[in-house]
Amino acid sequence: MEPNLFKYIWRYSRREQIGILLLVAISLPFYFISLSVPKDIVNTGIIGQGYAGPGDTQSFLAFDLPLSETLFGAPITLFEGFQLEQESMLLGLSFTFLALVIVNGLFKFQINTAKGRLGERMLRRLRFELADRLLRFRILSLRKMKGAEVATMVKDEVEPLGGFIGDAFVTPAFLGGQALTAMAFIMVQSLWLGLIAGAIVLVQALLIPKLRKRILVLGRQRQLTARALAGRISELLDGATEVHANDATHWERAEISNRLGLIFGIRFEIFQRKFFVKFLNNFLSQLTPFIFYALGGILALRGSLDIGALVAVIAAYKDLPGPVRDLINWEQQRNDVQIKYEQVIEQFQPGEIIEPEMQDPEADDGQPLSGAIVFSSVSLADDSDNNLIEGVTLNLPLDSATAVVGDSGSGKEYLPQLIVGLLPAGGGTLTLGGRDVGKLPEAVIGRRLGYADNDSYLFPSSVRENLLYGVKHRPLREADYDEEAKKEWDAARAEAGRSANSLYDINADWIDYEALGVTNEEELRAHLLRAVALVGFEDDVYRYGLYGAIDPEERPQVAEGVLQARAALAKRLEAEGFTDLVARFDRDSYNMNATLAENLLFGTPTKPDYAPDALGGNRLVIGILDDMGLTGKLQEMGLKIAEFTVEIFADLPPGHPFFDQFSFITADDLPDYEAIVGRAEKDDVSSLNEADRTLLLGLPFRYVEARHRLDLVDAAFAAKVVEARQTLAKTIEDKDPGAVAFYDLESYNGVASLLDNVLFGRLVYGRAEAQETLERIIGEVLSELDLREAVLAAGLDYQVGIGGNRLSATQRQKTALARALVKRPDLLVINEATAVMDGATRSRIVERVLEARRQEEEGRRGIFWTLERATLAQHFDQVVVMKNGRVAEVGGFEELNKDGTALAGLLSSD
Amino acid sequence: MGVEEEVKVLKRIPLFANIDAAKLKLMAFASERLSFTPGQYLCKQGDVGDAAYIIIDGEADVVLESEEGNLTVASVGQNDIVGEIAILIDVPRTASIVATSEVVALKVTKELFFRMVTDFPEMSVEIMRVLAHRLEAANARLRRQAS
């Protein structure tokens, strides 16, 4: 990248910079005219200079050719102007002034907009360029960088550049012009005084930057320390487990404090120096007038200088310090951003960078790799030149299944990384189908090979998006835009082009259907689900689907099917004698297995103020309860719950797990309720004040009679709640429509989960094996109605969380494996990607994947799998046994499995 | 039947006779009350044990399952505690317990059980007593078989 910021700016924004300069130049005459108009208004318009008396006229807006008097001896008048009387003249001049104000304002607006746009474009270009370079770094270089620090660089450190770039050329040109004009004027008036003024400006211009040198050094340190701080802060998050498990919070506090102290010291020194420079600068600026007054005064007294000229010099000098000071400030800012720029660029200049042609999206010819994987004395060393592997020579058919086994120091984990080009071979050559891996473009590696290892990263989106991550290489079909959206995208694309950003549309369809062997969305889904099933992830995905919601508008057939399943389930439960396992929702009766909140709303809340915990403060709901005379009863329930909770939890220390699991009241709030219980006389809520009763009112909404068994819901209360439910439903529909999705036997509830929609009720508490039985029957019903795939499809929309943290480690590995399989690669490269799974799961997956790959079409059957356990290798076509970084044995499993072989050794220690 | 009544039942069980009512309430509240129909398993031999059961009502058989056939070794009923061995020592269930009538039981999870035992030492003494009785009964049976 260009190390000099100015050259960088000039190279990419030359035309726009010149355009802005021109715009400024054009605006200047208007600006100067606007300065002289007020004088004319006063002199001609108000005082009436040049008017002989009432009725006299002068010409308004007369316009001579500029400089014509000097050039031709007589003014050449281009426009005679209008003859106006004094009052009209005053108005005319005033309106001229108003017009100029508007014109100047518009110029300023235009110039600032142009500068802003230019700055933002350059900022965008720079940020994109940095991100682009990150995408072109070798993995090894990336491993040495701290994520948080890089993020600060791209986000914060280049930000000030955007503001500066617009002023990079305009400001010095403009201010320099002003300063030079003022200097020239002084020189004309008095050469000597001009020279003195010039000398002092020169001292300023030379001395001040010198003093600022140290400030620049400090500025650089400030940036580096701040960046390191960002890195440390992210370490506090990454290492949270260790920090807490080792009681290291105080050490960390001291460490951070120490850093902040350093930063404080640097920043404070900058302030001190900055203000000293400012002081000096101001002093020098004021020194000149002193000389003018003293020296010029003496000269004037002695008669060698005309007083008029002295006054003119002093007046002209007023215009000099401003621009000079601004210029010096600009210079300071320039140095600042230049340093920031250099500091960032420096970090983005690694030894080796992937050339753009290696990432050409069209570099893959679509031909499958064929032939062999050939290692010819390949070696690899770590940073300190220790050999990780050496002299590895192998010749393995691409289209068969190879297992690599070895103990932990064998170097077996490097072979897959070498094959997919993540690590460049240190010595020797490695070819795939006769093509050198080091020279294979990413388009070939990324499409023809599928790779998964034991810490594969999942992106924070759905399971589906993660599975498809390996088949989105470039946009293949334009997005489905209407005319307006198309125009918008065209404009966005053109703008992206101006900053040399990517021209690809993120909203286009990037999925390479052809490579997957599918033609439409349904086949694609089936393809994804096959991969999911293959790695044993299907049951989990099914569960995600059951507990996930679908949008009935988007998937009307599924919603329709679920309604059928709802009816079918009821019939089925009856037929099998399990009706008592589910308490169905019934508009006319209280559901003992549902919460009080659910019984009141008889639906799923869509707004947070209708959630169970919020109901106590929901005016609309409480209003209805008041009208129905239920509030008092609920407060009584609250009091009983509070009494009970206080009694059984009183002795438990706060933070006891039971609070989370069982309590209606958190440990922190318990003392408050204890006090309320103490204040209440004989279970009578009326003895309590308003605030206490409000607190109690919030308690019973999560209460489930069948589960909590406190005997709080009797028939009379239940009837009242059912009555309130009807009124509440009407009121909500009137006053807050859509706040609650009501249960309705005949319609799909888009807010509730698929499972809830099928069940249309609550599982009954206290029946042994209820859940298992119900899950089995629901599973059967859904399969019979061909809904299993729809549930699985809904499960694919499950969000995996940041880095996949909503999945278990096993599930993450399964997803990563499925992602590699979805691609249908020519060669599947797996690097101990089943490390966290138990032995049975692992061998099941290995067997199934091998079987599935054998069924694949020719050219897509290759497997290169580094295994955790040697026994798993028995299913493979050939086995490579690694030992101490070298190949110990190669051959068929049976062939090698003899006494005394390295493989036998590994097998016995398994 | 609510928690209050369950506590009354628990009070009648020797194991809990000496324990403060508030603690029993906590235990009852934190436990799931389950009902079993005749033939349903409270626990299955060989499974991982995650809970013990306190039978509040009904009868169940303790069955040793083997390839030769099932052997009913004991009957349990109201106020008995069953399934505690597998949660005391991490072994699979040593026997199956099958309901022979409608059974209502409190399911005490492993976690809750250990909490109660650690918090209330008198409970562990009671448990030891129960186990010692079982051991003695088993020994007696062995002696009978040997003679």
The pLDDT tens digits of the residues spanning A733-765 come to 999 888 899 999 899 998 899 999 999 999 998
CA dihedral of A185, A186, A192, A198, whole degrees rounded to 10: -100
What is the mean predicted confidence (pLDDT) over A279-308? 82
> Would you report the helix, strand and coil content of chain A in percent, each value rounded to 5?
60, 10, 25
Indicate if the pLDDT at residue A866 is higher than 90.
Answer: yes
Residue with tokens 């005033």: A94
Distance CA A328, CA A696 (A): 68
In Å, what is the CA distance from B41 to each residue of A652, B37, B74, B85? Answer: 34, 9, 15, 17
Predicted-complex ipTM score: 0.83
Indicate if the pLDDT at residue A36 is higher than 80.
Answer: no
With a CB cutoff of 8 Å and minimum separation 6, the contacts of A229 are A256, A259, A260, A263
Indicate if the pLDDT at residue A68 is higher than 70.
Answer: no
Report the gap between the CA of B35 and the closest CA in chain A (Å).
Answer: 5
Distance CA A836, CA A203 (A): 71
Structure tokens at A428: 């020797």
In Å, what is the CA distance from A376 to each residue of A121, A306, A830? Answer: 49, 94, 21
With a CB cutoff of 8 Å and minimum separation 6, the contacts of A373 are A394, A395, A396, A397, A398, A402, A419, A430, A431, A432, A827, A864
Nearest to A841, CA basis, from A887, A798, A804, A810:
A810
Contacts of B23 in chain A (CB under 8 A): 648
Contacts of A644 in chain B (CB under 8 A): 3, 25, 29
- Residue A604, H or E segment: strand A603-605
Indicate if the pLDDT at residue B1 is higher than 80.
Answer: no
Whether A677 and A693 have beta carbons less than 8 Å apart is answered as: no
Selecting from B22, B25, B32 the residue whose C-beta is nearest the C-beta of A766 gives: B32
pLDDT of residue A683: 67
Distance CA A294, CA A527 (A): 92
Closest chain A residue to B98, measured at CA:
A768
Distance CA A897, CA A870 (A): 11
Structure tokens at A133: 């370079």
Selecting from A657, A710, A768 the residue whose C-beta is nearest the C-beta of B3 gives: A710
Distance CA B1, CA A710 (A): 9
Q: Phi-psi region for residue A559, left (φ > 0), alpha (ψ -120 to 50) or beta?
A: alpha
The pLDDT tens digits of the residues spanning A691-737 come to 888 888 888 999 999 888 888 899 999 999 999 999 999 999 999 88
Q: Which of B6, B29, B120 to mutate to test the interface with A (most CBs of A within 10 A)?
A: B29
Structure tokens at A490: 């065209």
pLDDT of residue A189: 73
- Residue A68, H or E segment: helix A68-72
Binary contact (B25, A644; C-beta < 8 A)? yes
Least confident of A55-64, A567-576, A772-781, A786-795: A55-64
Selecting from B4, B30, B42 the residue whose C-beta is nearest the C-beta of A662 gives: B30
Amino acid, single-letter form, for residue A713: V
How many Cα neighbours within 13 Å face the side chain of B35?
12
Average pLDDT in chain A: 88
The b/e string for A759-791 (b: 16+ C-beta within 10 A; e otherwise) is bbbbbbbbbbebeebbeebbeebbeebebbbbb
Binary contact (B25, A661; C-beta < 8 A)? no
Indicate if the pLDDT at residue A373 is higher than 80.
Answer: yes
Closest chain B residue to A658, measured at CA:
B30
3-state secondary structure of A863: strand
The b/e string for A303-330 (b: 16+ C-beta within 10 A; e otherwise) is eebeeebbebbbebbebbbebbbbbbeb
Distance CA A178, CA A319 (A): 8
Structure tokens at A770: 């209820």
More confident of the two residues B80 and A414: A414
Q: How confident is the model at residue A680 (pLDDT cuts 50, 70, 90)?
A: confident
Residue with tokens 């208004």: A41
Selecting from B26, B30, B34 the residue whose C-beta is nearest the C-beta of A768 gives: B34
| φ, ψ at B42 (rounded to 5°) | -75, -40
> Would you report the helix, strand and coil content of chain B in percent, each value rounded to 5?
45, 30, 25
Report the gap between the CA of A709 and the closest CA in chain B (Å).
Answer: 4
The pLDDT tens digits of the residues spanning A162-171 come to 888 888 888 8
Report the gap between the CA of B45 and the closest CA in chain A (Å).
Answer: 16
Report the gap between the CA of A641 and the closest CA in chain B (Å).
Answer: 12
Structure tokens at B71: 């052997």
**Start-end of H helices in B13-120:** 21-30, 84-88, 110-119
How many Cβ atoms sit within 10 Å of the Cβ of residue A34? Answer: 16
The pLDDT tens digits of the residues spanning A342-363 come to 888 888 887 778 888 888 888 8
Q: Count Cβ atoms within 10 A of the Cβ of residue A458 and give its class: 0-12 exposed, 13-18 middle, 19 or more buried.
A: buried
Structure tokens at A848: 């199934």
pLDDT of residue A142: 85
Whether A823 and A448 have beta carbons less than 8 Å apart is answered as: no
3-state secondary structure of B138: helix
Contacts of A710 in chain B (CB under 8 A): 2-3
> In this complex, how many residue pairs, one in chain A and one in chain B, have their CB atoms less than 8 Å apart?
47
Structure tokens at B3: 């928690």
Amino acid, single-letter form, for residue A712: L
How many Cβ atoms sit within 10 Å of the Cβ of residue A92? Answer: 18
**Start-end of H helices in A135-248:** 139-143, 147-152, 159-165, 170-189, 191-238, 240-245
pLDDT of residue A70: 67
The pLDDT tens digits of the residues spanning A524-552 come to 999 999 999 999 999 999 999 999 988 89
3-state secondary structure of A351: coil
Q: How confident is the model at residue A331 (pLDDT cuts 50, 70, 90)?
A: confident
Residue with tokens 């002696």: B143
The pLDDT tens digits of the residues spanning A155-198 come to 888 888 888 888 888 888 888 887 887 788 777 777 877 888 88
DSSP state of A294: I
Interstrand relation of B32-36 and B103-109 (parallel, antiparallel or unpaired): antiparallel
Q: How confident is the model at residue A396 (pLDDT cuts 50, 70, 90)?
A: very high
Q: What number of helices (H) and strands (E) belong to chain B?
A: 5, 8
3-state secondary structure of B76: strand
Structure tokens at A253: 């506090």
How many Cβ atoms sit within 10 Å of the Cβ of residue B111? Answer: 15
Distance CA A385, CA B37 (A): 71
What is the mean predicted confidence (pLDDT) over B66-94? 84
Binary contact (A662, B4; C-beta < 8 A)? no
Indicate if the pLDDT at residue A429 is higher than 90.
Answer: yes
Distance CA A541, CA A806 (A): 13
Selecting from B30, B32, B37 the residue whose C-beta is nearest the C-beta of A658 gives: B30
CA-based Rg of chain B, rounded to a whole angstrom? 15
pLDDT of residue A145: 85
Structure tokens at A309: 């000229």
Indicate if the pLDDT at residue A67 is higher than 70.
Answer: no
Distance CA A492, CA A87 (A): 54
Nearest to A223, CA basis, from A166, A158, A276:
A158
Indicate if the pLDDT at residue A303 is higher than 90.
Answer: no
